């Protein structure tokens, strides 16, 4: 068996072309703001990519870059600036923030109506209630990718490895909603029967930041495998899943080229939602 690749690059191009057409129909050009603190190479690359995406689809860019030494008050002032900027349709605070900064306090200061990442407490609360809301980008990207390849999750056993607030937890809520109807298990560092859960799961989504943690022998034949994790190691970017799972899985979203491009595309999708009159 050789898995079909879930091609996030190709789908992201398709989504961006659709967004570009919709942007042209808006009465006012939307603007995406970013707040970046420090010079983390991964964050710098990611933010730069977001602004390239904006240029491709006709969205204006508003960029605030702060030094690594920026304190909480300075970061909150930048949030207030974008909250009050009429040209900023929505914005994101690039994570991680410096250790001394209360990231949850900063995210809570973002106006919910400008929360392009879907991480404001009120937007996450609406996700829990299955109300219309801005969905966090990576969970939205994963579901969009699965939907594109007509992978029906209703009644399927989905194992999410990782319980982070940007992927694992919101994804578990999204996939368990009635519209999707998956049976979701979230595994984490205290999970004692991970091997058993992996072997029985119809869908495995790895988001823990441990290079090549998921091996082919761990999953059942024909499982759908989604690699979300990313780790820098010896000048390489490695995912959470050993690429050789392609020989066991039925579908595989690799890293790179799977979820990552779609996550950026979903940020544009969220901004488009915020821009609707």
Helix (H) or strand (E) holding 32: strand 31-37
Q: How far is the CA of 71 from the CAs of 99, 200, 234, in angstroms?
A: 10, 46, 31
What is the largest distance, in Å, between two alpha-carbon atoms of the chain? 55
Distance CA 276, CA 274 (A): 6
Q: Are 139 and 167 in contact (CB under 8 A)?
A: yes
- Choose the catalytic residue: 7, 16, 50, 53: 50
- Choose the catalytic residue: 94, 114, 115, 242: 94
Distance CA 180, CA 183 (A): 9
Q: Are 171 and 228 in contact (CB under 8 A)?
A: no
Residue 83 has phi, psi (to 5 degrees) of -60, -35
- Asked if 117 is an active-site residue, the reply is yes
- Asked if 94 is an active-site residue, the reply is yes
Cα 45 from chain centroid? Answer: 15
- Choose the catalytic residue: 117, 202, 240, 242: 117
Distance CA 101, CA 76 (A): 10
Distance CA 79, CA 36 (A): 11
Q: Are strands 231-233 and 236-238 parallel, antiparallel or unpaired?
A: antiparallel
Those residues with Cβ within 8 angstroms of residue 167's Cβ, 6 or more apart along the chain or in another chain: 136, 138, 139, 160, 207, 228
Q: Are 141 and 269 in contact (CB under 8 A)?
A: no
Active site residues: 50, 94, 117
């Amino acid at each position: 068996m050789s898995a079909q690749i879930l091609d996030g690059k190709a789908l992201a191009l398709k989504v961006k072309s659709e967004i570009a057409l919709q942007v042209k129909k808006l009465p006012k050009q939307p603007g995406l703001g970013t707040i970046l603190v420090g010079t983390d190479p991964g964050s710098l690359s990611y933010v730069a990519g977001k602004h390239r995406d904006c240029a491709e689809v006709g969205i204006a860019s508003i960029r605030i870059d702060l030094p690594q030494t920026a304190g909480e008050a300075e970061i909150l002032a930048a949030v207030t600036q974008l909250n009050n900027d009429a040209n900023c349709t929505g914005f994101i605070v690039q994570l991680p923030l410096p250790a001394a900064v209360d990231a949850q306090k900063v995210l809570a200061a973002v106006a919910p109506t400008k929360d392009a990442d879907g991480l404001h407490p009120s937007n996450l609360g609406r996700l829990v209630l299955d109300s219309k809301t801005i969905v966090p980008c990576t969970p939205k990207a994963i579901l969009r990718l699965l939907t594109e390849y007509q992978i029906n999750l209703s009644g399927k056993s989905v194992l999410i490895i990782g319980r982070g607030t940007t992927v694992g937890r919101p994804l578990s809520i999204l996939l368990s909603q009635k519209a999707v109807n998956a049976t979701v298990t979230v595994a984490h560092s205290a999970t004692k029967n991970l091997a058993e859960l992996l072997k029985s799961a119809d869908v495995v989504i790895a988001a823990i930041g441990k290079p090549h943690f998921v091996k082919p022998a761990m999953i059942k034949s024909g499982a759908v495998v989604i690699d979300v994790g990313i780790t820098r190691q010896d000048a390489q970017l490695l995912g959470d899943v050993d690429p050789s799972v392609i020989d066991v899985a039925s579908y595989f979203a690799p890293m790179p080229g799977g979820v990552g491009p779609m996550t950026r595309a979903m940020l544009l999708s969220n901004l488009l939602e915020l821009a609707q009159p």
